[in-house]
Structure 1
């Protein structure tokens, strides 16, 4: 039984994900070697090991139980929303937003797990109520309302719209949703967004207007990327990264750090890794035997591709700084573990298909 289980396990997808995680760990190792401390390295290695155990463990769970029963999916979503509300009441404030629970040496960011819960919830109800998916707006809007930061709200809305488009929503409903979205953004701008969030948007439009304030991050990121050249300055030798000019080089701006130290060649390897992951998930979705599995795979693909596009755009200075990290590579236990939970469900889907994506490469 175990032999058949792991025979259908998508080792190609798993290997590509671990490859990207190790690129991030390599950057943390360089930071530890050159005096930045080894705390990020040790914690990320722990998160990786724990995440791998989760992937294998969840792959034994039959995802069709989520498809057949509504209660577990609704319960998971309700608990996730409750965690978001509790973090607003009892959480720790970091970089202007209250997003984390402090538990001993670790910080937990509930919104990362909400993203996976919403994927499962939407895959479930879009399958059951294909013609009325527009009526589920209250589900995502409730999550967006209690989302602790602008970046998370963008991702939640992106997942919602993307999955509706894949599900075949009527174009008139889609147009209505965009209109509602424009109104919501206007209300949020004047009544919800904090000053620092508005400053990030203004600095993206003209970072040189405030080079030592709101525009600082984008300017330093551009300098780091531009100084990397073809082969980079060498692991641990990036001046912007190691001298502390590049902010959040282990999270939001790790792409700029990689470009500076590993150059265009390192960036190409990253792009190939992500492209391979996207392709494998698409294959699993195409081979899936039911709409729930297809929708979950497509939803997960939307999530990581949105994070990938927004983070790199942010590093290049063509999108405002939103706090969205680079999936699998940036430091962060909540992000990595939540993504590994999603991958575990996708592996469960691959294993239980009549044909699996592993049979073709």
Structure 2
């Protein structure tokens, strides 16, 4: 047993490792297809995007070995310190960060940029796992739920201030983790209703939605009155009236923020997504070209390096946020489906292994990993095919960027290390 503990590869789930390597490798092929030119020759070169990404991939090997070098108890014991250090890395951006495309989200190290928000997700997952696995922690208490919310939303607030709303949105994924550990579905239901009311208010305007709310309240009152008596007197009218009042104020506030506070380009994206207006040459150009590129691939695709729209660079940022459009054109519906299936296999494998953990810390962290990867996949692919607005969220293991690749690698391989040691009594 001691010899096994000294072997950093002992107990590793090689299925997860294989899925990781395949996704990273296939992702690089699509980055190569999106960025190569006839003049490019060298693969390992900082002069090309695919060359840089290949170097980033090579650096994941020492990163993985470094992660596996520590035993699982290290990550549990120092999760709070790692979380605080990650928050400091976000705060440091306001003093030493580099502004790119209007967002101060990067550190510049001699031409190599690092985006700390890509790494904070893993350490937030560790902090949540540490909190929820505490024996004295009772998640049913409101004050303890607030503690979890503070851990989750503190980094997201720092990220919004950069401003980078897309990266901040990812922290909503932790609600899946909280729900697994006992958080009532009412929170998720309330969030879903809030989003629905938000969308309906934008599309129809505040007056029709307020009218519907008044009609619903009136109908509800009629139903209650028909059951008059003791039950009627005991009914909690205060909560009902407060709920309708809050939603009414939310509708009015949404309309005001949408018309007077929201930046013009974000407002335009919602208008295009909801079909309020069409703009295939301006703000909606990226989404239009992405959808057209994917649809042009048909069932089997045009073949590797044979996508004329990809090779013609018709989709801006095709090697980063819109990389799935390359998969659609060159590999078709069949290849796109295989990529989604591989992602789902990865997620199901993580959840399956998480459920086998006797240690609650490992289980909670596993669900955190699965939730973050799932949220990234759904939002990115939904954005690329036009179901969601453009928010700038990378596709895990596919999108170009060292920070993104290393952040997801850290996130996944910490779980692989925890899983490898789940049967050890340290």
Q: TM-score, normalised by structure 2?
A: 0.75
**Structure 1 residues 152 and 260: CA distance shift in structure 2, 3 A:** same
Q: Does residue 46 in structure 1 map to residue 46 in structure 2?
A: no
1:310-340 CA distances to partner (integer Å, 9 max, x unpaired)? 1110011000001011101111111110111
2:119 alignment counterpart:
113
Matched, 1:88 2:103: no
Contact 1:207 1:214 in 2 (8 A): no
Q: 1:265 to 1:177 in 2, by over 3 A?
A: closer
Name the structure 2 match of 1:342. Answer: 411
Match of 1:62 among 71, 76, 88: 71
- Range with greater deviation from structure 2 (101-110 or 90-99): 90-99
Cα deviation code 1:108-159 (max 9, x no counterpart): 1111111111100111111222424411222323222211311111101222
Counterpart mapping for 1:114-193 below 5 A: 114-128=120-134, 129-131=137-139, 132=141, 133-136=144-147, 137-147=149-159, 148-159=163-174, 161-171=175-185, 186=254, 193=262
Measured after TM superposition, the shift of residue 301 of structure 1 is 0.2
Q: Which residue of 2 aligns with 1:358?
A: none
Contact residue 36 and residue 48 of structure 2 kept, 8 A: no
* Corresponding residue for residue 359 of structure 1: none
CA–CA distance in 2 between the matches of 1:192 and 1:92? 25
| SS in structure 2 of the partner of residue 65 of structure 1 | helix
**Cα distance between partner residues in 2 of 1:84 and 1:167:** 28
How far the C-alpha of 1:196 sits from its partner, in A, is: 2.8
CA distance in 2, matches of 1:256, 1:178: 28
> Shift in Å at residue 271 of structure 1?
1.8
- The 3-state SS of whatever aligns with 2:92 is helix
Shift, 1:96, TM fit: 3.4
Could you say which residue in structure 1 is the equivalent of 2:373?
304
**Equivalent residue number for residue 254 of structure 1:** 323
Secondary structure in structure 2 of the residue aligned to 1:209:
coil
Partners of 1:272 and 1:83 in 2: CA distance: 35
Task: Return the offset for 1:193.
Answer: 4.9
Relative to structure 1, the CA distance from residue 212 to residue 302 in structure 2 (aligned partners, 3 Å threshold; closer, same or farther) is same
Cα distance change on mapping 1:350 and 1:192 into 2, 3 Å: farther
* 2:283 alignment partner, SS class: coil
Residue 168 of structure 1 and its aligned partner are, at CA, apart by 0.3
Deviations 1:230-261 (CA, angstroms, capped at 9, x unpaired): 22122222222221211111011100111111
Give the Cα separation in 2 of the matches to 1:253 and 1:36: 24
Check the 8 A contact 2:379/2:388 in 1, yes or no: yes
Distance 1:352 1:91, change over 3 A: same
The Cα RMSD (Å) is 2.8
Evaluate the alpha carbon distance shift between residue 305 and residue 170 of structure 1 in structure 2; reply closer, same or farther with a 3 A threshold.
closer
Alignment of 1:16 onto 2:25 = no
Assess, with a 3 A threshold, how the Cα gap between structure 1 residues 277 and 105 changes in structure 2: closer, same or farther.
Answer: same
Distance 1:55 1:259, change over 3 A: same
Deviates more, 1:38-47 or 1:166-175: 166-175
Alpha carbons 1:289, 1:353 under 8 Å: kept? yes
Q: Does structure 2 conserve the Cα–Cα contact (< 8 Å) formed by 1:207 and 1:215?
A: no
Q: Name the counterpart of 2:310.
A: 241
Unaligned stretches of 5+ residues in structure 2: 41-46, 199-249
Unmatched segments (≥5 aa) in structure 1 = 356-361
Does the 8 Å CA contact 2:269/2:283 hold for their aligned counterparts? yes
Q: How many matched pairs?
A: 351
What's the offset of the Cα at 1:91? 2.4
Rounded to whole Å, the distance in 2 between the matches of 1:18 and 1:221 is: 26
Give the corresponding residue for 1:294.
Answer: 363
Query: Are 1:216 and 2:230 matched, yes or no?
Result: no
Give the SS at the match of 2:133. helix
Of residues 103, 110, 116 in structure 1, which corresponds to 2:109? Answer: 103
Q: Which has the larger radius of gyration?
A: 2
